[in-house]
Amino acid sequence: MIKKILIANRGEIAIRIFRSCREMGIDSVAVYSEVDRESQHVLLADEAYLIGPAPSSESYLRIDKIIDVAKKSGADAIHPGYGFLSESADFAKACEDAGITFIGATSKNITQMGDKLSARALMEKAGMPTVPGSPGAIKNLEEAKTICEKIGYPVMVKASAGGGGKGIRVVHSPEDLASGLRAAQSEGKNYFNDDKVFIEKFVQNPKHIEVQVFGDQHGNAVHLFERECSIQRRHQKIIEEAPSPSLPSEVRDKMCKMAQKATQSIGYQGAGTIEFIFDNVTKDFFFLEMNTRLQVEHPVTECITGIDLVKEQIKVASGEALSFTQEQIKVSGHAIELRLCAEDPTTFLPSAGKIVRCRIPQGPFVRFDGYIYAGYEVSIYYDPMLAKLIVWGANRKECLNRLRRALSEFALTGIKTNVILHKNILDHPKFIDGSYDTQFVDKELITTDKKSFFKYVPDEVFLVSAAIASYQEQKSKSFEQKNGSPKWKAKARLESQNQG
Amino acid sequence: MYFESSVNKTNYRVIVEEDLKNWRLKVQKILKDDTERQWDEHIIPKKDFHTAADGNISLLFNNKSYLVDVVDREDHIEVYTRGSYRNVVIANEDIILRNGLMGLGGLGQVKNLKAGMPGKIVKIFIQEGQEVKTGEPLLIMEAMKMENEIRATADVKIKTIHVSEGDSVETGGALISFG
């Protein structure tokens, strides 16, 4: 029986895990870095231990220090959350060696799935489709033509050493193949000193769809249906929903069953996610990778299945069998999650600083997983994600309306946030009809002009507020001055010198 | 009180006045071609721009209810409401004066330094014929009870000084000619 869990993480996910612990009568131990003393995960834990300076490499990533704290505090298990050490086979191994239960996949599972080539090979063996293409480097044009005819156009010719968008050509028809090959080869040669190229099917309108899976130590494995996470910026998800609005039910069945089978075939233990690329035109899907941990977006699955995934992780880690069978898992309604980040909504550059106000949405079927409060200083050291707003609705339409309502109640001021980006997305026809793909934010939103992006409140409101506030400010300064405070004059003088 | 302001890439002139019960604002867009635009007038009852105990401003504007946060930064004001925000650059008369003077004085190629606002010359640091390096103070002008030190932001030669210490000057009045 697990009595005390150390959470080797910070921020919202640490708090999310405390909540399940507390409901199960388990004590929680927080660890924190020097800048995180005021972080809410320290304030809400049962115990808290300082583990080092702000940079993650000196605190949240220090396996030795975390194991030490676990021993000192008498924790019998460690939950790694997501990010940081959650997919570190070394960390899982260190826990196993120290006799501490690691609440996650086994170090073997983590190693198998951590390497993309070995994961791909394992999954192909389990019958999972992967993106079709050439088995290795292309030898000549004839071979390329044969492969392309087999997999069908359009294809991507990729320099095997390529990266950062260089050495990639999309070829739509056989006539363009020779020039595409030449271009990719020459870019590979020029930029990476390697002219090897391979061919992969080009997935048009790619969607990112993933299946939540769960395995236990007794050989059981289930899936908890899919989530769609195609709304991304900088290749990172910002909106996730379940079920996916664009998966035909027969494709959903096939995808989920395959994921379940693959999970079982590798003897996977704990919560995991199998990610797919879904071609919205052909309705084909391909294995992308497996994440051997709890995902940021796990709440949407919790909302539609009614299952507390963290509790289940803890139970499975302590040796219990899964508390549900595949047949018992039912989907009800629709859930969407928004990641609320401290960043400029148009450039996506992180924005640190002090939070002036934080008003959290409330009301029916609204869930807010966060760690922020007014006066909290958002640090530059960690991920800009501050909170997740998750809502449930009986169907997607109700869910979307409820989400707009909940977002309208949210206020976070003093730093820049991506709230207005979310508003724009939620109002976009392609989000509303579900046809969006992973290129959506770049193609549909960032290109729109800024004026329309900021259309929600007229400029006059801001101008009037700023003008009255400035008037009041200046009046109170003049009042101070009349009453003998010399500061105003001195300060102005100083500012003028600085400007010179 | 007169302000010039910039919001969402548009510039405005704003006059804020108050009486016992109301805020009276006059707002005019400043267009590039400097054509005169009409002044929009907003009369906002003071109870409709109400600061609550937690610092949140409740603004009723055209009967729409906004909860507003105004955060003062060094060179602009951040205004937040309804999940939206704007960076509002707002300048009072002192700042307009200072910017006007600095802008003219700082460009170097400009022949005359003019007063952007009415004020009083408190101190003159330079003499005619003197060569002044970037960053050296030229004069101090007082306006709105605030002293503004004007420095050269380019190397210039002083040709003529049109004012003396203690003089009052009007908007546009010549202060210094550069040679």
Chain A residue nearest residue B147, CA to CA? A493
Chain B residue nearest residue A482, CA to CA? B145
**How close is the nearest chain A Cα to the Cα of B107, in Å?**
12
Instruction: Say yes or no for a CB contact (<8 Å) between B14 and A467.
Output: yes
Query: What's the confidence (pLDDT) of residue B34?
Result: 65
Q: Are residues B16 and B82 in the same domain?
A: yes
d(CA A246, CA A475): 58
**How close is the nearest chain B Cα to the Cα of A427, in Å?**
14
Contacts of A450 in chain B (CB under 8 A): 8-9
* Test the A interface: residue of B30, B62, B69 with most A CBs within 10 Å: B69
Whether A478 contacts B145, CB under 8 Å: yes
Query: What's the confidence (pLDDT) of residue B120?
Result: 85
**How close is the nearest chain B Cα to the Cα of A339, in Å?**
14
Q: Are residues B64 and B126 in the same domain?
A: no
Please give the backbone phi and psi of residue A269, each rounded to the nearest 5 degrees, phi first.
-120, 130
Q: Are residues B98 and B54 in the same domain?
A: no
d(CA A313, CA B24): 61
Chain B residue nearest residue A361, CA to CA? B83
Contacts of B9 in chain A (CB under 8 A): 450-451
Chain A residue nearest residue B82, CA to CA? A408
- Domain containing B80 equals 2-91
Query: How many structural domains is chain B composed of?
Result: 2
Instruction: Say yes or no for a CB contact (<8 Å) between B44 and A469.
Output: no
**How close is the nearest chain B Cα to the Cα of A466, in Å?**
7
Contacts of B150 in chain A (CB under 8 A): 496, 500
Whether A197 contacts A138, CB under 8 Å: yes
**Residues forming beta bridges with residue A367, ordered by sequence position:** A390
pLDDT, tens digit (0-9, with 9 covering 90-100), for B26-80:
999 988 776 778 899 999 999 999 998 888 999 999 999 999 999 998 788 999 9
Q: Are residues B86 and B100 in the same domain?
A: no
Percentage of chain B beyond pLDDT 70 is 86
Q: Are residues B8 and B61 in the same domain?
A: yes
**Residues forming beta bridges with residue A277, ordered by sequence position:** A208, A286
Chain A residue nearest residue B140, CA to CA? A493
Chain B residue nearest residue A468, CA to CA? B16
The answer to whether residue B105 scores a pLDDT higher than 50 is no
Smallest Cβ–Cβ distance between A466 and the set B70, B82, B84 belongs to B70
Contacts of A478 in chain B (CB under 8 A): 145
Instruction: Let me know if A357 is a catalytic residue.
Output: no
Strands A77-79 and A101-102, by their bridges, are parallel
Instruction: Say yes or no for a CB contact (<8 Å) between B81 and A462.
Output: yes
Q: Are residues B78 and B152 in the same domain?
A: no
Give chain A's end-to-end CA distance (angstroms, integer). 69
* Test the B interface: residue of A496, A497, A498 with most B CBs within 10 Å: A496
B60 touching chain A per CB within 8 A? no
Query: What's the confidence (pLDDT) of residue B117?
Result: 67
Query: What's the confidence (pLDDT) of residue B46?
Result: 95
Query: What's the confidence (pLDDT) of residue A206?
Result: 93
**How close is the nearest chain B Cα to the Cα of A361, in Å?**
12
Chain A residue nearest residue B69, CA to CA? A413
**How close is the nearest chain B Cα to the Cα of A368, in Å?**
16
Instruction: Say yes or no for a CB contact (<8 Å) between B1 and A474.
Output: yes
Q: Are residues B76 and B86 in the same domain?
A: yes
In B91-150, the residues whose Cβ lies within 8 Å of chain A are: 92, 94, 98, 102, 135, 137, 145-150
Q: Are residues B73 and B39 in the same domain?
A: yes
Instruction: Say yes or no for a CB contact (<8 Å) between B85 and A416.
Output: yes
The DSSP secondary structure of A38-62, one letter per residue, reads TSHHHHHSSEEEEEE-SSGGGTTT-
Instruction: Say yes or no for a CB contact (<8 Å) between B90 and A466.
Output: yes
Last residue of a domain, one of B69, B91, B113: B91
Query: What's the confidence (pLDDT) of residue B65?
Result: 94
d(CA A95, CA A105): 12
Smallest Cβ–Cβ distance between A454 and the set B84, B90, B145 belongs to B84
Per-residue pLDDT 10s for chain A (500 aa) are: 899 999 999 999 999 999 999 999 999 999 999 999 999 999 999 999 999 999 999 999 999 999 999 999 999 999 999 999 999 999 999 999 999 999 999 999 999 988 776 787 889 888 899 888 887 788 899 999 999 999 999 998 988 776 656 788 889 999 999 999 998 888 888 877 888 888 888 888 899 999 999 999 999 999 999 999 999 987 789 999 999 999 999 999 999 999 999 999 999 999 999 999 999 999 999 998 899 999 999 999 999 999 999 999 999 999 999 999 999 999 999 999 999 999 989 888 888 899 999 999 999 999 999 999 999 999 889 999 999 999 999 999 999 999 999 999 999 999 999 999 999 999 999 999 999 999 999 888 877 677 788 889 999 999 999 999 999 988 888 777 666 544 444 444 444 444 43
Query: What's the confidence (pLDDT) of residue A496?
Result: 45
Cβ pairs A/B, distance under 8 A: 150
Last residue of a domain, one of B91, B120, B154: B91
Query: What's the confidence (pLDDT) of residue A486?
Result: 45
The answer to whether residue B145 scores a pLDDT higher than 60 is no
d(CA A245, CA A432): 10
Query: What's the confidence (pLDDT) of residue B7?
Result: 92
Contacts of A423 in chain B (CB under 8 A): 83
Instruction: Say yes or no for a CB contact (<8 Å) between A408 and B102.
Output: no
DSSP state of A139: -
Q: Are residues B97 and B166 in the same domain?
A: yes
Query: What's the confidence (pLDDT) of residue B141?
Result: 81
Query: What's the confidence (pLDDT) of residue A84?
Result: 95
B140: domain CATH number? 2.40.50.100
Instruction: Say yes or no for a CB contact (<8 Å) between A468 and B68.
Output: no
> What 3-state DSSP class applies to A360?
coil
Contacts of B49 in chain A (CB under 8 A): 465, 468
Q: Are residues B49 and B129 in the same domain?
A: no
Tell me which of A293, A359, A367, A405 is the catalytic residue. A293
Interaxial angle between packed helices A89-98 and A107-114, expressed in degrees from 0 to 180 and rounded to the nearest 10: 170
d(CA A450, CA A207): 26
**How close is the nearest chain A Cα to the Cα of B77, in Å?**
7
Q: Are residues B10 and B72 in the same domain?
A: yes
The answer to whether the bond into B118 is cis (omega within 30° of 0) is no
CB A461: neighbour CB atoms within 10 A? 21
B10: domain CATH number? 3.30.700.30
Nearest by Cα to A128 from A285, A329, A301 = A285
The DSSP secondary structure of A143-169, one letter per residue, reads HHHHHHHHH-SSEEEEEEEEETTEEEE
Last residue of a domain, one of B59, B91, B123: B91
- Which domains does chain A possess? 4-103 (3.40.50.20), 141-201 (3.30.1490.20), 206-453 (3.30.470.20), 464-499 (no CATH)
Half-sphere exposure of A462 (CA within 13 A, CB side): 30
The answer to whether residue B16 scores a pLDDT higher than 90 is yes
Q: Are residues B113 and B52 in the same domain?
A: no
